[in-house]
Amino acid sequence: MKNNKSSKVWKGWRVISFVLLALLLVSEGLLFFQVWKLKMLPMKFFIPILVVVLLIDIPVIVAMFPRTGKWQKRTGHGKKITAYVLSVVIAAGCLFGWKAVSKVNQTVDVITKVPTVAAQVGVYVMATDKAEKIEDAKDYTFAITELRDKENTAAAIAEIEKLVGGKIKVERYNSLDELAGALYSGKAQAMILNVAYAGLFTEFDSYKDFATATKIIYKYNVEKLVEQTKPADDKTQANKPAEPTKSVEETPFIMYLSGSDTRSDTLTDSVSRSDVNILAVVHPATKQILLVNTPRDYYIQNPAYGVMDKLTHCGLDGMENSMEALSNLYGYPIKYNAQINFTGFETLIDAIGGIEIYSENGDGVHLDSGTNYMDGEEALRFARDRYSYADGDNARGRHQMQVITAVVNKLASGSIITNYSDILDSLQGMFSTSMPSDIFSKLINMQVSDMATWNVQSYAVTGYGGMDSTIAGVASVMYPNDSTVAKASDLIGKVLDGKTLTEADVAPIE
């Protein structure tokens, strides 16, 4: 009877042991599969961690399944209970780790997702107009221009005609100036235009009040996948390096950072004027990053129209158009692009515990002499301010590169692991890139493996102001200082060739 009772008790323990063993193995399997799938943890770390976990598992499993009844009697239930507690703790840790790594995977998927270009075509009427919806304007005359965004405008007209149940009256104009003039004068009661182009009216003295003088009664949304970036044309890229045959970790590349410094909560993939135009020239093998800032008003060729234009206007025809314009300017192909949201930087900087920016003498506005600590709000204010400085956009470009440099240094330091969740959340709203996820993961793997400090240098091209013709009409522009452009091109070439830059190399031209 006693043996039968002991046997029944042991069977109860065995059930518990099998359940906990299954939990342990499943949780460990989930964690290690997710880590392997992410491909960010170097094998020199992955294998030892796997071995250590297995070595811990062996005594735990042995204690959970004693081999003989005599051994069980001698040890009692103490070791089994201890093994149970350890198995639950290990399983809980693995599940937590699995959740954490899954979040990293999710973030990589989001920021390296093949983007869509989102365009909105709006129907504008004067703010005092009684029309509140598109059906109210079915008998209006609609002003359009086919010189800009012709395909989307035609699609919007077709959709409008479906909604109002018939043809609409359309008048065509040859320029944005004439287009707005028709609306303001009453020659047309409505205007159809890509919303991204509406910002150009602020460059006309007659229509600076466009945002408040008009209203939108209908928006037509257009979305399409962004095509893979094509290699730059050999004819326009005299300095194009040979195609690399090295590994990802050894191959240099140029990434175009584009974005707006306007305050917004989310990052959107849309065609718009770009207020941030920074080239990040990266050489993973030498741990060298060069940030080259080009002012938004730089007067260069707009590839989409083959005319001279402001750099910021190039973004109205897509990020690839801006990339081509900058490739032509500096003579090197740009491999990847990224959208950067400086408002998102505020959250990221707070998540990493703030940043430090060093200034030799201070600037009398945001920086004191020495090391300046900034939280997210202070850093964003510093990165967006251009009106407090005599050189305006040039100063803003320098500040944005200083903020990016400080963030890179903080992230590379490895001191931010404890707050990874907030950091990942901020990245999803602050940054997206055309770089494939496998390349992105390999670069992270490399950084985790060596935890190297990167040498980040920055350089800004300069110019002088004037007035000239643009796609928006005659507007203020910045004519390039050719010597600074030539120096920027030389610095880019040095980084791609594996040379390490010093502060003297990036010193401004006197």
Query: Residue 77 has what pLDDT?
Result: 67
Query: In the beta sheet, which residues pair with residue 218?
Result: 123
Residue 26, beta-bridge partner list: none
State the pLDDT at residue 110: 72
Three-state SS string over 489-503 comes to HHHHHHHHCCCCCCC
**pLDDT score, position 238:** 46
**294-318 burial: b if 16+ Cβ within 10 Å, else e:** bbbbbbbbbbbeeeebbbbbbbbbb
Spell out the residues 6+ positions from residue 480 whose beta carbon is closer than 8 angstroms to its own: 298, 299, 300, 329, 461, 463
Q: What is the reported pLDDT for 106? A: 76
Instruction: Provide the pLDDT for residue 338.
Output: 85
pLDDT at residue 117, rounded to an integer:
58
- pLDDT at position 9 is 52
Question: Rounded to whole angstroms, how far apart are CA atoms 206 and 256?
Answer: 34
CA distance 77 to 25: 22
3-state secondary structure 199-232: HHHHHCHHHCCHHHHEEEEEEEEEEEECCCCCCC
pLDDT by 10s per residue, the chain, length 510:
455 555 555 566 778 888 888 888 888 888 888 888 777 667 777 788 888 888 888 888 888 876 655 545 555 567 778 888 888 888 888 888 888 778 777 777 777 776 565 678 999 999 999 999 999 999 999 999 887 788 889 999 999 999 999 999 999 998 888 999 999 999 999 999 988 888 888 888 889 899 899 999 999 987 655 454 444 444 444 455 545 456 777 889 999 988 764 444 444 445 667 778 999 999 999 999 999 999 989 999 999 889 999 999 998 888 889 999 999 999 999 999 988 776 667 888 888 888 888 888 887 788 888 899 999 889 888 888 877 877 777 788 888 888 888 888 887 766 566 666 677 776 766 778 888 888 888 887 787 777 778 898 989 999 988 999 888 888 889 999 999 999 999 999 999 999 999 999 998 876
Are residues 95 and 195 in contact, defined by beta-carbon separation less than 8 angstroms?
no
Query: What is the structure's pLDDT at 230?
Result: 45
In whole angstroms, give the CA distance from residue 319 to residue 432: 13
pLDDT of residue 14: 77
